[in-house]
């Protein structure tokens, strides 16, 4: 399971501060977890995370590898806003069985179960989260989500990670233009994989680069593809790759 950093954002300006920065509507915290991203002004991915309603302020659940960077970036944006950003002494717990009283449904897909935030680490997680991600086309921080990513190409709208009615945020103009004026020519797709192929392997179609295999679980995977070339059987090393979500 990806290690997580739990930040705590407090202060009278906390909600307005986040609302002007992130891809989703902070007001959705009344319904539970909010999945969102912070983007560059050019609309590219910086970080994805969950906002969590808390008694005092808002918790922010982000991959540990992005924790320091995101904290620094939010502090840079803070300017004169009355907001405090600090690390909370909490740990993520996850499961797919009955949701506990302190749990929140994962807003990306029902199959991803629940998330809870507790003072002690989780020690009993035996779930194959990669298999679940691959089965339900869920991108992962640092794998399918990188600094080169445009969030609509990896399905953020389907994952309830972006709100097109909330108003301005960093990168909003590019994201809205991709939504309303552009047919996506590249993006994340599910594929079948028959044969040996490591993640990171280039996918070829008729001798031309069609994409890259990014995640794999048994005979299924996630790939970033050029849709116009991802037709029929393709090759990734010695494996045969076929798009299955078209």
pLDDT tens, 139-178?
Answer: 999 999 999 999 999 999 999 999 999 989 999 999 999 9
Q: Distance between CA 197 and CA 241 in Å, rounded?
A: 9
Q: Distance between CA 201 and CA 195 in Å, rounded?
A: 12
pLDDT (tens digit, 9 = 90+) per residue, 56-111?
Answer: 899 999 999 999 999 999 999 998 899 999 999 999 999 999 999 999 999 999 99
Q: Check whether 1 has a pLDDT greater than 60.
A: no
- Give mean pLDDT, residues 45-61: 96
Q: Distance between CA 188 and CA 205 in Å, rounded?
A: 16
Give the other-Cβ count within 10 Å of 176's Cβ: 15
- Contact between 4 and 87 under an 8 Å Cβ cutoff? The reply is no
Residue 154, Cβ density class (10 Å: 0-12 exposed, 13-18 middle, ≥19 buried): buried
Q: Distance between CA 47 and CA 23 in Å, rounded?
A: 11
Q: Distance between CA 102 and CA 188 in Å, rounded?
A: 33
Question: Among 167, 19, 2, 5, which Cα is nearest to 72's?
Answer: 5
The SS3 assignment for 181 reads helix
Q: Check whether 2 has a pLDDT greater than 70.
A: no
Question: Among 48, 15, 5, 69, which Cα is nearest to 155's?
Answer: 48
Q: Check whether 191 has a pLDDT greater than 60.
A: yes
Give the pLDDT confidence score for residue 150 in this predicted structure: 97
pTM of the predicted structure, to 2 decimals = 0.95
Most distant pair of Cα atoms in the chain: their distance = 58
- Token pair for residue 154? 């990896």
- CA 220 to chain CA centroid, Å, is 20
Alpha helices in 44-188 (DSSP H): 64-78, 129-136, 172-181
User: What is the C-alpha R_g of the chain?
Assistant: 19
- Contact between 35 and 109 under an 8 Å Cβ cutoff? The reply is no
Question: Among 166, 165, 192, which Cα is nearest to 246's?
Answer: 192
Give the other-Cβ count within 10 Å of 203's Cβ: 27
Q: Distance between CA 210 and CA 227 in Å, rounded?
A: 8
Give the pLDDT confidence score for residue 124 in this predicted structure: 84
Give the pLDDT confidence score for residue 212 in this predicted structure: 98
- Token pair for residue 38? 């912070």
Beta bridge partners of 39: 45
- Contact between 67 and 7 under an 8 Å Cβ cutoff? The reply is yes
Per-residue pLDDT band at 50 (split at 50, 70, 90):
very high
């Amino acid at each position: 399971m990806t290690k997580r950093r739990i930040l705590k954002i407090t202060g009278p300006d906390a909600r307005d501060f986040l609302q002007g920065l992130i891809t989703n509507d902070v007001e959705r915290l009344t319904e539970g977890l909010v999945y969102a991203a912070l983007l560059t002004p050019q609309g590219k991915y910086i970080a994805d995370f969950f906002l969590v309603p808390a008694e005092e302020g808002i918790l922010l659940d982000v991959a540990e590898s992005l924790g320091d960077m995101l904290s620094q970036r939010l502090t840079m944006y803070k300017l004169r806003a009355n907001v405090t950003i600090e690390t909370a002494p909490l740990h993520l717990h996850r499961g797919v069985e009955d949701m506990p009283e302190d749990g929140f449904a994962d807003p990306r897909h029902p199959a991803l179960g629940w998330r809870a935030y507790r003072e002690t680490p989780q020690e009993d997680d035996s779930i194959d989260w990669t298999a679940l991600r691959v089965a339900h086309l869920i991108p992962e921080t640092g794998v399918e989500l990188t600094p080169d990513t445009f969030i609509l190409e990896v399905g953020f709208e389907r994952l309830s990670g972006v709100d097109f009615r909330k108003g301005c945020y960093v990168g909003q103009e590019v994201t809205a233009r991709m939504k309303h004026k552009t047919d996506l020519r590249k993006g994340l797709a599910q594929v079948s994989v028959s044969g040996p192929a490591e993640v990171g392997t280039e996918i070829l179609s008729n001798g031309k680069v069609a994409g890259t295999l990014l995640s794999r679980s048994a005979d299924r995977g996630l790939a970033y593809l050029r849709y116009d070339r991802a037709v029929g059987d393709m090759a990734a090393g010695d494996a045969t790759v076929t798009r299955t979500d078209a």
